[in-house]
Structure 1
Amino acid sequence: MTVTVKHLPITEVKGVGVRLAEELERLGIVTLDELFAYYPYRYDDYELRDLAEVQDQEHVTVVGKIQSEPVLSFYGKKKSRLTVRVLSGRYLITVIFFNQSYLKRNLKLGETVTVTGKWDRNRAMLTSTDFHVGSPYQEAQWAPVYPVKSGVSVKRLRMLIKQAFTQFPDYVQENLPLNLLKAYKLIGRKEAVRTIHFPSEKNSLHQARRRLVYEEFLIYQLKLQAYKRVKRQSTKGLSISLDKEAIGLFIDRLPYAMTKAQDRVISEILKDMADAAPMNRLLQGDVGSGKTIVAAVALYGAVTGGYQGALMAPTEILAEQHAENLQTLFAPFSISVGLLTGAVRGKKRKELLEQLAEGKIHILVGTHALIQPEVHFLKLGLVVTDEQHRFGVQQRGELRLKGKEPDILYMTATPIPRTLALSVFGDMDVSTIDELPGGRKEIKTYWVQENVMDRVIEFMKKELNQGRQAYVICPLIEESEQLDVQNALDVHAYLSHALSGYNVALMHGKLSSEEKDEVMDAFKRRQAHVLVSTTVIEVGVNVPNASLMVIYDADRFGLSQLHQLRGRVGRGNYQSYCILLADAKSETSREKMRMMTETTDGFKLSAYDLKLRGPGDFFGKKQSGLPSFKLADMVHDYRTLAVARDDAARLVQDPQFWHDDVYARLRDPLIASGLTDSLHLD
């Protein structure tokens, strides 16, 4: 029977009544489409294998004979643990059943049992997820496992999906045109959906997933590319008349030479600024790659072209530092730089805002204070947002509204592969500084246990005796009952005693703006020798004399954050060091520490951090608007993402895509999201 009706309600499937439909709705399954697209997140492997070949923590099925009486114990509130010894081949293993006390009467000495579960190789222990008395069933080797809630079991869901395929065999329609299927040797959608639920072997499962992941990415990228085209067609930006000769002289007078990578991204940015379409560009580069100087060149170009510039930073410390640096750079060119943070109040604030509105302040640097309603620019031409991921989408957008479609430059020191950046940050263009300035000494990084702190103190004294300074970072401000980690108050007290004769300062987020300024000023002026701090100094702080970074409980931080913290040293001419204090009990923690000691390449570290944490945790879903894919993974399926992006970019520019029937089903999601309403498709 051929079904052409779209979006049949789930109640059309035999066996789904009102009560079950309500339970399925809690899983997000209301229609037949949603049932077919409710993909498994893993598969139970019922293939019988020799345990010698099974990796630690793998799922495996074993068959064997019970060798001991089952032992039942209780813990917590109504929680139970049932253990029994099973001889499987030549292995005597312990099988554990959690919260299944009723099984005790089924487990009898000498009986054959088949158990599927997670294998703990070191303890010869199997934690059961599926079990039955007797030999293995003669059924599919791979059984899908779905995320479920109480009311719908995994087995019930499997039966429903099987029933839906039987009842509506032709419901799943093809979305991709034949030319794409042939180009990438993709299987049909109907076959892919059936196989993803009920694979017969590994290769067919791989082909099904490959096809569906490409489709997910392609539809997502088509939306992005169409949105980008809408923005370019509907928005008229500024066309800044750049004084290239003046910009060249400014670059020549900078205290250091530009790298080839800096020259390249400056050309990309200036080209955008001169173009009539609004610039929306992400500038990414490793710690110390020179992003701020690139931004300064762009701001100089905007001001000499007759416009004002704004630079928004996530913290007052960083905003103050940016303002100080820009004032030094622009002083010979009669360009005025203002600073607006929460600490600027009263008469000083009023005068600053008046000068800004009159155009007397050419560049305004600040925190989110820049987006407050009373802040008015006379002629805003360029907005630079530093560490853009620290601001929400709305905050970034509000600053743009301070002018008439000003050019936007976002900066981040968390570099990622370019195609992934293009996808995560939607409609932005991406410029990458993939080269560090010459002559920099690599920061030597060491991982040590916290029980050797005496040796760390001696090393710290050695650096301080040579006139250097040190940072000491703690994950918390105060002691916590929930977390067994070092806190800044205790560490400050300890170091003040251990380093008597040296001034040990304390910085954390609970200090007022004035107090933070005093602490940082003392550290910059070398009146404070050691700065104990939380991660409030994570980004941008520049003290060239600091040569040592010590991080307590380093395994508590993400790799990218550790790399940012490490980047606070190594900014002068001295050899610098980073010491990671961590017991690192888990394999993941130990691997993080190893990565930090083996490389100072921010691209490698952020790529590994992405794999560890996943894109949602890495970027922050609220900040980046990351999509939620059913199967695709933006990190692991990176190559497929790159292919899909290139295909989508080509398709939205092709008139055939917008009119030919073979692309009709790919256009449907764009029509549904309203993107086609604003496009000029002539």
Structure 2
Amino acid sequence: MSSLYHPEDTVTTIKGVGESTAEKLTRLGIDTVCDLLNHYPSRYFDFSEPIPIKQLVVGKTQSFIGTIGKVSTFFTKSGKLLTQSAIKDSSGKITLTWFNNPYIKRLIKENTVYTVAGKVSFWGKSLTVVAPIIEEGNTPSINTSGLVPIYPLTEGITSKFLRTKIHTILSSIKLTDPLDPQVLNSLDLIPESAAYQNIHFPQSKELRYRADKRLSFNEHLRININNQLELQNLGESISIVIKNSLTKETTNKFPFKLTPDQEKTVTAIYKDLKSNEFTHRLIQGDTGSGKTATIIFAANQCLGNNLSCAILAPTEILATQHFKTLQSLSLFPQQIQLITGSSKQAPKLNKPSIFIGTHSLLTSLPPKLKYPLAFVAIDEQHKFGVKQRNELLNRTPVPHLFNLSATPIPRTVALGLLGDINISNITHRPINRLPTKTFVISPTHFKKSPAWLTEQLTKGSQIFVVCPNIQDHETGVASVDKISKLYQKIIPAKYPVLTIHGKMKPEIQNEVLSTFQKQGGGVLVATSLIEVGIDIPSANIMIIHSAERFGLASLHQLRGRVGRGETQGYCFLVPSADDEEESERLQLLQKYNSGLILAQKDLRLRGAGEVFGIKQHGTLPTTLKYFWSKQLFLNAKHIAKTLVRKNPKMALQIASRLETC
């Protein structure tokens, strides 16, 4: 008997999924049957044992069985349609409540046994379950019994809908396991079909765990096979002779002594550059920790060897900042070229150069250069994807790759996201830098701040103010337009209030920044555009309005824009409403200054896809818990090496198969 569904089928082949629903599923990244199977639950409700009504706990989502009585409907004072019914078992009774659901009365049969699931809350002095899931009868159901999956959703799509469709697919699809039983047994992995069944509808917690492990292994194996095939096809990199004289001259150029972590990182980079095999290194550290300084040492060695190198940044502002820094600290200032979209300047290829630019630089440089690239450094690595990386690796010779990130990635996450990679952490701050003091303050409390802000401005301080929106199109959410007008009212007129955002042309942005940098005091109201690439030591106050709208990584990056001089830095997180002051994420910023600790906390709160914005190797299963196991990654790497060594063509077929299901 042939299966009813195939992995590559579009979702419209599923009964009950029309074009309108398909469009909604697309917002979740679901276009095919396979995509739907790979849309894993984010959590589960444990309805393994129905609970007697008398033992239900307020605030918890639970399941129970009872007989529904009379169903009543009426309108509240505010005009809402209210439907209620009491349900009872031998231990007691509770009320079920629905708002604005005119159809529910027709669907419910009075004096009939139902299995109910939902969150218990107070209704006045009585208990109720609002908008419960109900199933007629007391037999097990995918919605009200066992470990019930709860999925990431979008408007118009419910977990119940997804459960129903996934259950239908699993009962009507035949999956051929890409791995042979010997490999599965050696690693204690369950078959793929059993893994899909138990990730969506676990028969037990143990089987859910094993399903997670198997599907995580699939992802790691796919990443590692692709990495091994990539390495196999790579040409050689250039081996550089490290000259101690250049290191000494570069050291003398710097106005400060390198921290121990910076020295350690420079040594590691030198080791990479001496190898004629391609190396990939992630250099991570908080904003202001001195990552760029380590790259300057590498750049000077390249030019001293008659070779070029490239530094890529996600924005023109950051590229310009790097250009200025390199001009002051490079031993070869005349051989630095800034290539950006707005400069419209073609790179000069007749001499060894340090090329600095944005994405456009990648396509501006021919694959083969007279003075080839010894390395490429990519700042804010999570802003670049697979396409840009492949453009680098197709060069001859292959440049070494250095990723710089102020959004620290925990080691196991980096392995999963970026494959096999060397990691250098720069944790020490320069000796003269004080940690920025961070405070979460309510909008009401913020109204008391103008006097203090004015006092700081008279001392020569400069203030960054950040908003999530440019224009005022969301009720209650801060915008550059609205907040800039507010500061013009609360700050003395002699202190200018400037604005900057992404809709401005790059040359206008640079002009605004230059003006702000030159003036003795003032306020710059901006979007998160200033998250990277702004180095103004006299700016020591950061105020972020509607702070709850930003991720932890962005908030930490923005905080890193201040406290870069010798004066104390301050960061104020102002949520949109007073009741959001205790937001867990905002409190973490107040508690921790370490970007690595914050990255680990944010990972637990939101998952890696959201935190790092990376889809380096396809869709990452961020809801799978076992995915972050280093041992699982190493096991997959070993199997991948074996497969590629034995039969590269078959290994590629397995990787392609694992990209689907």
The normalised TM-score by structure 2 is: 0.81
Partner of 1:493: 485
Distance in 2 between residues matched to 1:385 and 1:454, nearest whole Å: 41
Partner of 2:634: 646
Structure 1: 5+ residue runs without aligned partners?
Answer: 13-17, 675-682
Contact 2:314 2:383 in 1 (8 A): yes
Partner of 1:362: 353
Shift of 1:564: 0.5
Number of residues paired by the alignment? 628
Partner of 1:542: 535
Change in Cα spacing, 1:175 to 1:665, as seen in structure 2 (3 Å) is farther
Shift of 1:487: 1.8
Q: Does 1:9 align with 2:3?
A: yes
Change in Cα spacing, 1:56 to 1:667, as seen in structure 2 (3 Å) is farther
Write out aligned runs for 1:567-582 (5 A): 567-582=560-575
Query: 2:83 is aligned with what amino acid?
Result: L
Query: 1:645 is aligned with what amino acid?
Result: F
Q: Deviations over 1:509-537 (max 9, x none)?
A: 23333332232122222345221212221
Q: Does 1:633 align with 2:632?
A: no
Q: Does 1:521 align with 2:514?
A: yes
Q: Does 1:337 align with 2:336?
A: yes
Query: Aligned with 1:520: secondary structure?
Result: helix
Partner of 1:678: none
Distance in 1 between residues matched to 2:533 and 2:498, nearest whole Å: 19
The normalised TM-score by structure 1 is: 0.79
Write out aligned runs for 1:181-580 (5 A): 181=185, 199-206=202-209, 208-231=210-233, 234-251=234-251, 253-330=253-330, 336-345=335-344, 349=345, 353=347, 356-359=348-351, 362-373=353-364, 378-381=370-373, 382-398=375-391, 404-426=397-419, 428-480=421-473, 482-500=474-492, 501-580=494-573
Partner of 1:84: 85
Contact 2:478 2:545 in 1 (8 A): yes
Partner of 1:680: none
Contact 1:610 1:618 in 2 (8 A): yes
Q: Deviations over 1:118-170 (max 9, x none)?
A: 30535544245542456x33789416559899999856864775688xxx9xx
Change in Cα spacing, 1:20 to 1:312, as seen in structure 2 (3 Å) is closer
Partner of 1:679: none
Distance in 2 between residues matched to 1:484 and 1:283, nearest whole Å: 39
Shift of 1:281: 2.6
Contact 1:422 1:430 in 2 (8 A): no
Q: Does 1:49 align with 2:51?
A: yes
Contact 2:149 2:159 in 1 (8 A): no
Distance in 2 between residues matched to 1:518 and 1:582, nearest whole Å: 30
Change in Cα spacing, 1:473 to 1:658, as seen in structure 2 (3 Å) is same
Distance in 2 between residues matched to 1:595 and 1:416, nearest whole Å: 17
Change in Cα spacing, 1:37 to 1:363, as seen in structure 2 (3 Å) is closer
Query: Aligned with 1:384: secondary structure?
Result: strand
Write out aligned runs for 1:107-186 (5 A): 107-108=109-110, 111=111, 113-121=113-121, 124-128=127-131, 130-132=133-135, 136-137=138-139, 141-142=145-146, 154=163, 158=167, 161=170, 175=179, 181=185
Query: Aligned with 1:95: secondary structure?
Result: strand
Shift of 1:459: 2.0
Distance in 2 between residues matched to 1:180 and 1:19, nearest whole Å: 32
Contact 1:370 1:399 in 2 (8 A): no
Shift of 1:296: 1.0
Does 38-47 or 562-571 show the bigger shift?
Answer: 38-47
Q: Deviations over 1:423-460 (max 9, x none)?
A: 21235443332433344311111111112333222221
Q: Percent identity?
A: 25
Q: CA RMSD in A?
A: 4.3
Contact 1:447 1:579 in 2 (8 A): yes
Partner of 1:677: none
Contact 1:240 1:274 in 2 (8 A): yes
Structure 2: 5+ residue runs without aligned partners?
Answer: 7-11, 152-156
Shift of 1:610: 2.9
Contact 1:341 1:367 in 2 (8 A): yes
Change in Cα spacing, 1:203 to 1:137, as seen in structure 2 (3 Å) is same
Change in Cα spacing, 1:561 to 1:146, as seen in structure 2 (3 Å) is closer
Change in Cα spacing, 1:389 to 1:196, as seen in structure 2 (3 Å) is closer
Change in Cα spacing, 1:176 to 1:441, as seen in structure 2 (3 Å) is farther
Query: 2:491 is aligned with what amino acid?
Result: L
Contact 1:385 1:410 in 2 (8 A): yes
Partner of 1:94: 96
Q: Deviations over 1:646-665 (max 9, x none)?
A: 11333344589838xxx999
Distance in 2 between residues matched to 1:248 and 1:524, nearest whole Å: 32
Shift of 1:250: 1.9
Does 392-401 or 404-413 show the bigger shift?
Answer: 392-401
Change in Cα spacing, 1:191 to 1:496, as seen in structure 2 (3 Å) is closer
Distance in 1 between residues matched to 2:453 and 2:366, nearest whole Å: 46
Instruction: Answer with 1 or 2: which has the greater Rg.
Output: 1
Shift of 1:406: 2.3
Contact 2:60 2:119 in 1 (8 A): yes
Query: 1:344 is aligned with what amino acid?
Result: S
